[in-house]
Amino acid sequence: MAFLRERLDNGLEVIAETSAHAVSTSVGFFVNTGSRDETDLLWGTSHFLEHMIFKGTESVSGDEINRRFDAMGASANAYTAEEDTVYYATVLPDRQADAVDLIARMMRPALREEDFSTEKLVILEEIRMYDDQPPFGADDQCRAAFFGDHPLARSVLGTVESITALPVEAMRDYHHRRYAPGTMVLAATGAVDFPALVADARRLCGGWESLPDTARLRPDAPDRAARPGTARIVRPSATLEYGVRMSPGPSERHADRFAAKLLAAVLGDSSGSRLYWALVDSGAAEQATLHHHEFLDAGLFVTQLSCDADAIDAQFERILEIYRDAATRGIAGPEFDQARNKLASRVVLAGERPRRRLFEVGGEWAHARTYRTVAETLGIVESLTRDDVQQVLERWRLDESASVVLAGPAGG
Amino acid sequence: MKQTLFSATLDNGITLLGEDLPDLESAAVAIHVPAGAVHDGPGRCGLATLSGELCLRGAGERDSRRIVEDLENAGVQWAHSVSATHASFSGAMVARRLPDALPIFADIVRRPRLPPDEFEAARDMVLQGLAGTEDDPAHRTMLALRQIHFPAPWGMPAEGLAAEVERLSCTDVRRFCSTHLLPAGSIIAVAGRIDWPDFVARCTRLFGDWRGDPPPPIAPGPRGPHSRHVPHDAQQTHVAIAWSQPPYRDDTSHEATAALGILGGGSSSRLFTEVRERRGLCYTVSAGYQTHRDFAIAVCYAGTTAARAQETLDVILAEIERLPGTISAEELDRIKARAKSALVMQQESSAARAGSLGRQWYHLGEMRTLAEELARYDRLTVAAVEDWLAAQPAKDLSVVSLGHEALEVPRGVSA
């Protein structure tokens, strides 16, 4: 493994983690933009723009993009989150240049009005699709309740209203501002020819105009739920009731971030955790999990529960008892060891796949300009102690200051 | 590409399969026992799944918690599933922990305690999963499609039917396990950084003295009606279409999967282009191939707003009909490139390779090397795919819609 880095004159960062044994190459653009960079009028633009990037440039049509990716045997896609938009392709190493060429050109899309109108229909279908699925919008509504006026409150997809009202000019302006070289990282992992990557980046991206000020909106993120308490979404046709609960946790810059993940594994992993044994193994709930989710300057502990509608209040109370018990009595040595072993194994296994490494390496570099080898991450996980986890339990009380949204047939 | 594949057969009929991937840190093992849902029996849909669940709730010296603790302390990312044909228990781990995992899996399939005091919880867990499925419209659509298209009991949902699961007893599970959790026909596949002789020796010790005769094969029964509408109160309507294909072991299965790939297997496919990119009719649209050992289906799926569902179905049917005689060399080349990438990249995942070895053995009775599999794709020509399509036109389509209103299925599409 080697980590390589180059910065183009216009500010575009080009990085790679090369692996001698990899049989594939993953490349991707990590753009520091997402729903938290939007205003009410631009709500959903980051994600809509991600779709539009696949509709072509002035010289390459959308159909041609699709054909070229398939012709190089690429596994290519993109995703948009609150703070990131990521475009990636995994190819066999001899197609690195083709993949870089295409994905780099795509970053300067035509954003044609006709494509915009057609793709708007697809976005609206995607919104409806998620709205028809568990947890029926409870996750988005819960994040809105937790973050209040902060831009992290905005859902990634936007709403039917915001997408319908969005003009193409607003997207063009957003793209110009947010896809400047200083806000983007070109990352590659696996079997990477780094000199070729840099040369291609210079040729394809070197002419991109750098903007003087691309800093993102950074109002202070709340460290407690803006709107604590429980809200309900009524879906009469749902079979189960779905609950999402968010309480404060460490951000990605906080020293507690790894211990927070270990705590979440002890209490709410999808198997072998306290929530698993109490609620899932017993057949009381379909799902009961706890995750730690981190942003640049905020963090969340997210509890997800699904069970029979008439049992949801009691099951949430049971979960809170488990959180309170952990806070007062701490966690036991064996469950700590088990969770740490589990996390360590996940780090090693995920580290074997260039695609997984791309998200890890590119994401960390785009946010914090830091790089860790798999061994270094493993070292951090293995050095965690019960005291570290105890500190998280004391600093981020899981049983306090939470927003909860329930969705299902109950309707209160 | 150099590959090191191994196989061995134990006296009791268990097949051991292996692939050495020395550049990986991990190893993955998957144990497939032919105790799948086709053996549920009438009125007992879900019995195999419930049995698989109860097997995890104590085996050998370990109780339910100890099984999970020991697996997770060894860093085993474990999973279990029950398909139509098999109960499968699998795990991926850092390679040196494989000797810790094998005895646990051996206990689970050979010495499950099937504790009566865990039965209610196990059944409730299965029922919770089924209730969750009720809220997953795309999954329900596919279940309904398989149910009408495949001959009974192959189309029945492996996860069960709630009304029938509720009637199952611990005695049913115990009887099922004693007659179906048996060595003959079982497959144990391992891939990653492995020591094959050591693996064979361990498996011989752990599984070699396991005895029992295989259950009789299940004869396919009648199939269901050709179309079905499932009422569902939601914004989107879901549409799925199936028609018969040659199974994977058939000599023409690559022609069939190539044709399906051109129809709906990637972002440059006909369906993605015509349904999503041109018309913006839906977010999800695809065509795929699902195979059992003796029969297989092509499946097209789309989910869209109710008002546009009929148009979506019409466009999909038109594309299915338009396919024969119109395939281009570029389209076939793209299918080959995608297949090659996917096959080669499997080498980066021990779990993917262990899974693939097991599937190949079940379907083909052999392991194909990557080179052989790639050669089969390389040999494909437009003429061969077109000849196959001409001889096997899509007919007797099964159509399922799930949503507010039933869609109009043109005459001549279904029988």
CA A397, chain centre distance (Å): 24
Domains in chain A, CATH or no CATH each: 2-205 (3.30.830.10), 229-408 (3.30.830.10)
* Closest residue of chain A to B279, computed from CA coordinates: A118
Q: CA of B122, closest CA in chain A: separation in Å?
A: 7
The residue among B49, B281, B345 with the most chain A CBs within 10 A of its CB, best to mutate, is B345
pLDDT tens-digit map of B213-254: 878 889 988 888 889 999 999 999 999 999 999 999 999 999
Task: Specify the amino acid at residue B265.
Answer: G
Residues of A in contact with B284 (CB under 8 A): 129
Of A123, A129, A234, whose CA–CA distance to B236 is shortest? Answer: A129
Distance CA A361, CA A17 (A): 8
pLDDT at A221: 82
Residues of B in contact with A334 (CB under 8 A): 69
Q: What percent of chain B has pLDDT over 70?
A: 99
Q: Give the CATH class of B4-207.
A: alpha beta
> Tokens representing B332?
């076939």
Residues of A in contact with B233 (CB under 8 A): 236-237
Q: What is the pLDDT along chain A (412 residues), one digit of tens a residue?
A: 899 999 999 999 999 999 988 999 999 999 999 999 999 999 999 999 999 999 999 999 999 999 999 999 999 999 999 999 999 999 999 999 999 999 999 999 999 999 999 999 999 999 999 999 999 999 999 999 999 999 999 999 999 999 999 999 999 999 999 999 999 999 999 999 999 999 999 999 999 999 887 777 777 888 899 999 999 999 999 999 999 999 999 999 999 999 999 999 999 999 999 999 999 999 999 999 999 999 999 999 999 999 999 999 999 999 999 999 999 999 999 999 999 999 999 999 999 999 999 999 999 999 999 999 999 999 999 999 999 999 999 999 999 889 999 999 985 4
The residues, ordered by sequence, that sit 6+ positions from B164 with a Cβ below 8 Å of its Cβ are: B43, B44, B45, B46
Domains B4-207 and B227-403 share a fold: yes
Distance CA A34, CA A27 (A): 20
Of A24, A188, A18, A191, whose CA–CA distance to B352 is shortest? Answer: A24
Contact call for B121 and A283, based on CB within 8 A? yes
Residues of B in contact with A349 (CB under 8 A): 25-26, 77, 92-94
pLDDT at B415: 39
Domain map of chain B by residue range? Answer: 4-207, 227-403
Buried b (16+ CB within 10 A) or exposed e, B223-251: bbebbbbbebebbbbbbbbbbbbbbbbbe
Distance CA A247, CA A299 (A): 9
Contact call for B77 and A344, based on CB within 8 A? no
User: What average pLDDT does the segment B290-295 reach?
Assistant: 94
What is the three-class DSSP state of A369? coil
Q: Which residue has the tokens 């979440």?
A: A264
Q: Which whole-number Å values give the CA distances from B148 to A42, A381, B227, in the listed order? A: 46, 50, 7
Contact call for B305 and A125, based on CB within 8 A? yes
Q: Which residue has the tokens 């999954």?
A: B139
* Closest residue of chain B to A337, computed from CA coordinates: B73
Residues of A in contact with B340 (CB under 8 A): 73, 92
Mean pLDDT, rounded, of chain B: 95
* Closest residue of chain A to B68, computed from CA coordinates: A272
* Closest residue of chain A to B285, computed from CA coordinates: A122
Query: Is the confidence at residue B126, as pLDDT, over 70?
Result: yes
Residues of B in contact with A76 (CB under 8 A): 267
Report residue B159's pLDDT band, with 50, 70 and 90 as the boundaries.
very high
pLDDT at A218: 74
Residues of A in contact with B338 (CB under 8 A): 70, 73
Q: Which residue has the tokens 């196990």?
A: B122
Q: CA of B333, closest CA in chain A: separation in Å?
A: 7
Name the pTM for this structure: 0.96
Contact call for A118 and B280, based on CB within 8 A? yes
Q: CA of B129, closest CA in chain A: separation in Å?
A: 6
> Tokens representing B359?
């599937």
pLDDT tens-digit map of B11-48: 999 999 999 999 999 999 999 999 999 999 999 999 99
Q: Give the CATH class of B227-403.
A: alpha beta
Residues of A in contact with B129 (CB under 8 A): 286
Q: CA of A340, closest CA in chain B: separation in Å?
A: 8
Looking at residue A40, what DSSP letter applies? Answer: G
pLDDT tens-digit map of B171-206: 999 999 999 999 999 999 999 999 999 999 999 999
Contact call for B276 and A120, based on CB within 8 A? no
* Closest residue of chain A to B122, computed from CA coordinates: A283
Contact call for A118 and B342, based on CB within 8 A? no
Report residue B411's pLDDT band, with 50, 70 and 90 as the boundaries.
low
pLDDT tens-digit map of A289-333: 999 999 999 999 999 999 999 999 999 999 999 999 999 999 999
pLDDT at B412: 58
Buried b (16+ CB within 10 A) or exposed e, A217-252: eeeebbeebeeeebbbbebeebbbbbbbbbbbbbbb
pLDDT tens-digit map of B84-119: 999 999 999 999 999 999 999 999 999 999 999 999
8 A C-beta contact, residue A351 and residue A186: no
